[in-house]
């Protein structure tokens, strides 16, 4: 390995709206990208940077860990943070191609990495004993016995699908099961011919946007916005219009737009649920503005308080909604089973567009899921995990209140995560995330998982994904947090 290198100084500005750790991260990233650090060079130590910049070690650590997450450096025990070079694999071109054609690189940079989970960098990121990761179901609750029995039965039956490319719309029996599920769970009455199988929400978004979004089209997005959607629209050259959203509706909707992307069941990441009146209003706006509504029904399987609300698509009488759903939260993202339900007139063009993206999805998982739904096992599984996740939510809230006093939270009536709006005496969200990691607890700031405009920065909010931790681990995690954030007088 090369020696430790000290290159251009890093400057941080306390008056800047950008968090200090992000300023440090951005400057180190740029120095690596501009070859001021080469592969194998060792970055200055956490202590050295902390003392030189006059910031806490946790702030420096947060910047270095983001470099690790994005593939620029790797943490080596007893050595430090070692540069791996610019991660050209993220750009989609080889180093040779990058040298030949700067335009190619600039084009490739329109496609930022927008991973939905942590699988892409498990080798690099720190593994924390208590990780409140968002969107991660509890693997211990997966119905392994039933699922394995169904899979084995399907494999024992000769299927022509094993030798053939699939219908790009998906296996018919799976689409039939999805239509059944949507009718009973979400109030959406469609036939299997209106269901298109996709490998999760991201592919569904990609498909809908490519069919419906004109060149340089206008897309209304929530602020904050799911990073995968924001990255997709950016890559397509769309002009995004961020709007603030609450349970009461949206502020500042434009008179005209081509599309709006919404998560009405459990806004990602702040967690509020769009009420019935607001759903009617956004449908009226879509009719007046000429916009398509992409309804990402994120976390809709889990509602704990209040009456269930129908999907936007169930209320749509004008045919402006495209519904996006998935089994990633009820079973697991690794199955890669999702679905799109467009209006009838869009089915043929979407299936045609999808045929250009892939030749269908694995018949085995579709066939197994179809039987899992049709047999009632999926509904039974949902009832069980709703009860367990509600208990985990309740334990998290009571444990936080016991250690930190009265709480201000949002998003707790539904979903698999909630937002804690920090007490006044706490540091900001970025510092909280760093200090929590020091005691083995993984917390997340909104801008860790979503794109947030500067004027709506959520620096006093942290996110807890509680589904993946059982009640005993949740209690232990909050005890650890109480050591990181002692409360005087309690």
Examine the pLDDT at 303 and tell me if it is beyond 50: yes
Q: How far is CA 49 from CA 44, 192, 302, 315, 387, in A?
A: 6, 59, 44, 55, 47
Residue 199 lies in a domain: yes
Q: Tell me, yes or no, whether 146 lies in a domain.
A: no
Question: pTM (2 decimals)?
Answer: 0.78
**What is the residue-wise DSSP string for 313-346?**
HHH-SSS-EEEEEESTTTT-GGG--EEEE--HHH
For the stretch 423-436, pLDDT in tens is 988 999 989 999 99
- Asked whether residue 443 falls in the same domain as residue 359, the answer is no
293: enclosing H helix or E strand: strand 292-296
Question: With contact defined as beta carbons under 8 Å apart, do 471 and 391 qualify?
Answer: yes
Let me know: does 335 contact 326? Beta carbons within 8 Å. Answer: no
Structure confidence at residue 474 (pLDDT):
98
Dig out the tokens for 75 from the structure.
């943490």
Q: What φ, ψ does residue 251 adopt, rounded to 5°?
A: -105, 135
pLDDT > 60? residue 238: yes
* 119, 328 contact by CB (below 8 A): no
Residue 457 in this model has a pLDDT that exceeds 80: no
pLDDT at 77: 78
Residue 112 has pLDDT above 70, yes or no: no
Q: Is the pLDDT of residue 124 over 70?
A: no
List the structure tokens of 25.
């991260």
Evaluate whether residue 349 is within a structural domain: yes
What number of H helices and E strands is found in the chain? 17, 17
Q: How many structural domains compose the chain?
A: 3
pLDDT of residue 102: 53
Is 226 found in the same domain as 96? no
pLDDT value of residue 93: 45
* 287 and 334 in a common domain: yes
Q: What is the CA radius of gyration of the chain?
A: 24
CB-based burial, 370-400: b 16+ in 10 Å, e otherwise: bbbbeeebbeebbeebeeebeebbebbbebb
430 and 395 part of one domain:
yes
Instruction: Kindly state the tokens that stand for 302.
Output: 């889990």
> Across residues 56-78, what is the average pLDDT?
85
Asked if the model's pLDDT at residue 490 lies above 80, the reply is no
Based on the domain organization, do 336 and 389 belong to the same domain? no
Contact between residue 249 and residue 255 where contact means Cβ atoms under 8 Å apart: no
The pLDDT confidence band at residue 263, using thresholds 50, 70 and 90, is very high
Question: What is the mean pLDDT of the segment spanning 1-11?
Answer: 60
How far apart are the C-alpha atoms of 490 and 486, rounded to whole Å? 9
Look at residues 376, 393, 426 and tell me which one is the last residue of a structural domain: 376
* pLDDT band per the 50, 70, 90 thresholds, residue 122: very low
Other CB atoms within a 10 A radius of the CB of residue 285 amount to 20
Same domain? 104 vs 235: no
Dihedral sign for Cα atoms in the order 182, 188, 193, 195? negative
Distance CA 218, CA 145 (A): 47
**CA 189 from centre of chain:** 28
Using 50, 70 and 90 to split pLDDT, how confident is the model at 101? low
Domain with residue 95: its CATH number is: 1.10.10.10
CATH number of residue 463's parent domain = 3.90.1150.10
Q: Inform me whether the pLDDT recorded for 106 exceeds 80.
A: no
Mean pLDDT (whole number) for 263-284: 93
Q: Tell me: do 254 and 365 sit in the same domain.
A: yes
Q: Does residue 11 lie within any of the structural domains?
A: no
What would the pLDDT profile of 159-169 be if each residue is shown by its tens digit? 777 778 889 99
CA-CA distance, 26 to 33, in Å (whole number)? 10
451 in helix, strand or coil? strand
More confident residue, 154 or 454: 154
pLDDT, the chain, mean: 87
Q: Does 2 fall in a domain? A: no
CATH number of the domain that 195 lies in? Answer: 3.40.640.10
Residues 32 and 91 in one domain: yes
Q: For position 414, what pLDDT does the model report?
A: 93
Cα distance between residue 31 and residue 306, in whole Å: 52
Give the distance, in angstroms, between the CA of residue 192 and the centroid of all CA atoms in the same chain.
28
Domain final position from 357, 376, 395: 376
For residue 275, what pLDDT band results from cuts at 50, 70 and 90?
very high
**Are both 387 and 357 inside the same structural domain?**
no
Query: Is residue 9 domain-resident?
Result: no
| Same domain assignment for residues 282 and 314 | yes
Reported confidence tier of residue 92, pLDDT bands at 50, 70, 90: very low
pLDDT in tens, 184-198: 999 999 999 999 999
Domain for residue 153, yes or no? no
Question: 335 and 444 in one domain?
Answer: no
The average pLDDT across 398-413 equals 95
Whether 107 shows a pLDDT value over 90: the answer reads no
Which residue, 319, 349, 376, sits at the end of a domain?
A: 376
Print the domain residue range for 165: 159-376
Is 70 a member of any domain?
yes
* Domain identity same for 348 and 293: yes
Residue 98 pLDDT greater than 80, yes or no: no
> Mean per-residue pLDDT for 119-140?
75
Strand-pair partners of 80: 76
What strands lie across the sheet with 321-326, from one edge to the other?
Answer: 196-198, 338-341, 321-326, 292-296, 259-262, 218-223, 239-246, 249-251
């Amino acid at each position: 390995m090369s020696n430790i290198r000290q290159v251009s100084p890093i400057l941080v500005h306390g008056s800047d709206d950008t968090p200090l750790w992000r300023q440090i991260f951005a400057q180190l990233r740029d120095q690596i990208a501009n070859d001021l650090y080469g592969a194998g060079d060792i970055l200055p130590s956490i202590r050295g940077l902390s003392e030189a910049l006059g910031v806490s070690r946790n702030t420096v650590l947060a910047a270095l860990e983001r470099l690790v997450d994005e593939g620029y450096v790797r943490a080596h025990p007893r050595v430090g943070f070692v540069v791996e070079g610019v991660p050209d694999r993220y750009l989609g071109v080889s180093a040779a191609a990058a040298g030949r054609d700067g335009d190619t690189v600039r084009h490739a940079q329109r496609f930022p990495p927008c991973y939905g989970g942590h699988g892409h960098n498990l080798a690099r990121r720190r593994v924390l004993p208590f990780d409140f990761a968002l969107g991660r179901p509890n693997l211990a609750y997966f119905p392994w016995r039933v699922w394995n029995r169904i899979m084995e039965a399907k494999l024992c039956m000769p299927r022509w699908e094993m030798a053939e490319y699939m219908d790009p719309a998906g296996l018919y029996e799976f689409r039939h099961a999805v239509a059944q599920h949507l009718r009973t769970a979400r109030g959406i009455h469609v036939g299997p011919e209106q269901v298109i199988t996709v490998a999760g929400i991201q592919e569904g978004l990609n498909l809908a946007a490519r069919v419906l979004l004109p060149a340089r089209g206008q897309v209304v997005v929530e602020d904050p916005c799911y990073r995968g959607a924001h990255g997709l629209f950016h890559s397509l050259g769309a002009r995004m219009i961020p709007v603030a959203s609450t349970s009461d509706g949206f502020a500042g909707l434009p008179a005209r737009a081509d599309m709006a992307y919404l998560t009405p069941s459990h806004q990602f990441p702040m967690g509020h649920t769009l009420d019935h009146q607001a759903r009617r209003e956004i449908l009226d706006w879509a009719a007046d503005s000429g916009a398509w509504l992409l309804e990402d029904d994120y976390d809709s399987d889990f509602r704990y308080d209040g009456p269930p609300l129908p999907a936007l698509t169930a209320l749509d009488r004008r045919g402006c909604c495209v519904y996006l759903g998935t089994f990633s939260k009820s079973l697991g993202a690794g199955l890669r089973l999702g679905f799109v339900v467009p209006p009838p007139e869009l089915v043929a063009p979407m299936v045609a567009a999808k045929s250009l993206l892939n030749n269908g999805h694995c018949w085995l998982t579709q066939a197994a899921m179809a039987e899992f739904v049709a047999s009632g096992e999926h509904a039974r599984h949902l009832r069980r995990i709703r009860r367990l996740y509600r208990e985990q939510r309740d334990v998290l809230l009571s444990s936080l209140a016991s250690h930190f006093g009265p709480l201000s939270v949002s998003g707790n009536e539904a979903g698999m995560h909630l937002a804690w709006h920090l007490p006044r005496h706490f540091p900001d969200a970025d510092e909280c995330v760093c200090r929590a990691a020091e005691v083995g607890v993984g917390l997340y700031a909104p801008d860790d998982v979503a794109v947030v405009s500067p004027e709506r920065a959520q620096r006093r909010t942290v996110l807890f994904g509680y589904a993946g931790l059982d009640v005993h681990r949740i209690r232990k995690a909050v005890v650890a947090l109480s050591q990181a954030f002692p409360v005087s007088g309690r």
